[in-house]
Amino acid sequence: MNNSFSIRIMKGRVFKLKLNSYNGDMDNFLFNEVQNRDNTQIYLSKGRVKNNDLDIDDYIFIQSEGKITHYMKVRQQGPFLREGDEESQISVKDINKVEPSFKSDFKGQGYNKLEHFEVISLLQKLTI
């Protein structure tokens, strides 16, 4: 009898984005601009996230003004930097708004790495 199964260790990132960088409207930026790009990509400052550090279906949580406001999954491994580009790009899918948004405990750099338990904790907060 074979009882094999696999458990996926979830990884993720918190991207801290300044609302004023997007004309004060994160919904418009994510649901109209990002979703309408050819590869539904978000552009990142070069070198902020190591190339190919995120795998397909890893989670990205958006933190703006100290709150988790949106979340999504990685569509293809990335981010990647094309030769000559000044910004890296990461393709995303399944963009969702967090309603109501909730206070984030993540401090420091703009692209916090999340461990499995942190991803689980954030996902649980979405369902409360």
Q: Class of 12-126 per CATH?
A: alpha beta
For the chain, the structural domain boundaries read 12-126
> Is pLDDT above 70 for 88?
yes
Closest by CA to 26, choosing from 124, 108, 96, 74, is 96
Confidence of residue 4 (pLDDT cuts 50, 70, 90): low
Give the C-alpha separation, 114 to 110, whole Å.
12
Q: With 0.85 as the threshold, say if the pTM is over it.
A: yes
User: Mapping DSSP to helix (H, G, I), strand (E, B) and coil, where does residue 27 land?
Assistant: helix
> Is pLDDT above 60 for 115?
yes
> Is pLDDT above 60 for 127?
yes
- pLDDT value, residue 68: 94
pLDDT per residue as tens digits for the range 55-83? 999 999 999 889 999 999 999 998 988 78
Give the C-alpha separation, 15 to 12, whole Å.
10
